[in-house]
Amino acid sequence: MNSCALINLGLIDWAEAYGLQERVVAARKAGAIGDVLLLCEHPPTITLGRNGKQQHLLASEAVLRQKGVALHHTNRGGDITYHGPGQLVGYPILNLAAIRRDIGWYMRMLEEAMIRASADFGVTAVREAGKTGIWVASAPGAKTCAAPEKLAALGVHLSRWVTSHGFAYNVSTDLRYFDLMVPCGIADRKATSLEKLLDRTIAVSEVAAPLAKHLGAVLNLEMQALPRVQFLEALRQPEQNAHTSAPNETPAAEPAPQPDLEHARSDA
């Protein structure tokens, strides 16, 4: 079983986390580091994926500024979604070629890990045909919803079989922010959270450990928690080595990119 470094970044700006993802992806492609799972929360942020439609953003930039919501365009698959405090965001940066060369299967495994984590809290989450993410129609002690509500969203990117971006699981997210958009471009569905479903306070940290455990199980990876400082130091080493390589050295030819299959597989 291969290992996967588990790094908890805490609350981090989306752009800063994206910059870190790019560094980790480059190191993973070069074989300088192993697989990595970054877990974090973001300040209020809306992101538009490669398939995102501007009309699905219902608020003007002035309104977003007033509410303190950042807006970013991104290269992940999918449409539009919200990130904010109380939402567990996971960025698995994995060499899928060493696990299974199947982006559809990978998306289903991300869903499976979140379905299993939800079950740990007594919530039955399911998949919906033609839609990504996980959905909940009812919860313990709650009335059945008129239509299944979205508990977690997916949006991934794949380059030379190395994954980036990932999942967003609503733990105690302020769901009012989803009113600023048409979440994932699906007008007739709402978002929900674990806290709303269970009608009790839940910390993001309570969900992080079981979700990471289940993700390791479905991908056959051994999760090994590393302090953020230790991981960043390990990441800097190959970067420094690359900068100090011979200046006249001819760079290796860039391998042909893999087709962007993920854009047809994720909805945000």
Residues noted as catalytic: 184
Q: Which of 127, 178, 132, 128 is nearest to 153 (CA)?
A: 132
* Residue pair 106/216 in contact by the 8 Å Cβ criterion: no
> CA 125 to CA 152: how far, in whole Å?
10
The H or E element that residue 9 is part of is strand 2-11
Token pair recorded at residue 86: 């109380």
Cβ neighbours of residue 207 closer than 8 Å, sequence gap 6 or more: 88, 117, 121, 169, 171, 194
For residue 52, what are the contacts with CB-CB under 8 A and spacing of at least 6? 73, 78, 79, 80, 185, 268
Q: Which amino acid is at 61?
A: E
